[in-house]
Amino acid sequence: MRRFLRSSDRLVAMQVLYALGLTWAVLVGFDAISALINELDEIQQGQYSLPLAMLYVAYTLPRRAYELFPTAALIGSVMGLGALAASSELTALRAAGIARWRIGASAGATVAALTLMMLVSAETIGPIGDLRAQALAMGAKSEDLAIAKRSGLWAREGDTFLNARRGALQGEGAVSRLVLEDVRLYEFNPDGALQAIAHAKRAEHVAGNWELYDVRRTTFAARSVSVQDVPHERWQSQLSPELLSFSVLRPRYLALSDIDENLDYLQRNELDTAAFESAWWSRVFYPVNALAMCLAVMPFAFGSLRSGGFGKRLFVGIAFGLGYYTVQRLSVSMAEVYHVPLWIAYGLPPLVFGLGSWGWFRRRF
pLDDT digits (tens, 9 = 90+) for 232-258: 888 877 776 766 666 666 788 888 888
For residues 313 and 299, give the distance between their C-alpha atoms in angstroms, rounded to a whole number. 13
pLDDT digits (tens, 9 = 90+) for 280-312: 999 999 998 888 888 777 776 665 555 555 566
The predicted structure's pLDDT at residue 124 = 92
Long-range contacts of 334-339, Cβ-Cβ distance < 8 Å, separation of 24 or more: 336/274, 336/278
The predicted structure's pLDDT at residue 1 = 46
The per-residue DSSP string of 70-93 comes to HHHHHHHHHHHHHHHHHTTHHHHH
pLDDT of 120 above 90? yes
pLDDT digits (tens, 9 = 90+) for 170-186: 655 444 567 788 889 89
Go through the domains of the chain in sequence order and give each one's CATH number.
2-124+258-364 (no CATH), 145-250 (2.60.450)
Higher per-residue confidence, 230 vs 166: 230
- Comparing 35-44, 238-247, 328-337, 348-357, the range with the smallest average pLDDT is 238-247
Exposure b/e, 238-257, CB count within 10 A at least 16 = b: ebebebbebbbbebbbbbee
For residues 356 and 365, give the distance between their C-alpha atoms in angstroms, rounded to a whole number. 14
pLDDT of 80 above 90? no
The per-residue DSSP string of 146-165 comes to EEETTTEEEEEETTEEEEEE
Strands across the sheet containing 145-148: 145-148, 152-157, 160-170, 177-188, 194-206, 209-220, 225-235
Q: What is the mean pLDDT of residues 126-151?
A: 76
- C-alpha 13, offset from chain centre: 28
pLDDT of 4 above 50? no
pLDDT of 162 above 90? no
Amino acid at 313: R
